[in-house]
């Protein structure tokens, strides 16, 4: 989960999932398109793996995570 004193993308995904900020989704989105991957738990909007760290880490979200 941690590499060189910093959380990896995988570590951030696991922490945000365990804390309930994101959930795994397999089905149709509101627009009818098929989607398999992570979605924001409140908004049900898709979240790309590479964006999890930027969205939920370092104060960039109203429900941010602070990893110490």
- Evaluate whether 22 touches 63 at the Cβ level (below 8 Å): no
CA 33 to chain centre: 20
Does 22 fall in a domain? yes
Does 13 fall in a domain? yes
Express each pLDDT in 18-62 by its tens digit. Answer: 989 999 999 999 999 999 999 999 999 999 999 988 887 765 555
* Residue reference for tokens 């999890």: 52
Does 7 fall in a domain? yes
Domain tally, the chain: 1
User: d(Cα 68, Cα 43) in Å, to the nearest integer?
Assistant: 26
User: d(Cα 30, Cα 48) in Å, to the nearest integer?
Assistant: 17
Give the range of the structural domain holding residue 6, as residue numbers without chain letter: 2-56
Q: pLDDT at position 36, please?
A: 97
Does 63 fall in a domain? no
Whether the full predicted model's pTM is greater than 0.85, yes or no, is no
Does 68 fall in a domain? no
Does 42 fall in a domain? yes
């Amino acid at each position: 989960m941690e590499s060189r004193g910093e959380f990896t993308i995988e570590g951030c995904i696991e922490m945000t999932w365990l804390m309930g900020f994101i959930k795994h989704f397999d089905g149709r989105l509101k627009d009818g398109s098929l989607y398999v991957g992570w979605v924001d738990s409140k908004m049900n909007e898709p979240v790309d793996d590479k964006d999890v760290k930027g969205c939920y880490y370092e104060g960039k979200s109203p429900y941010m995570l602070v990893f110490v």
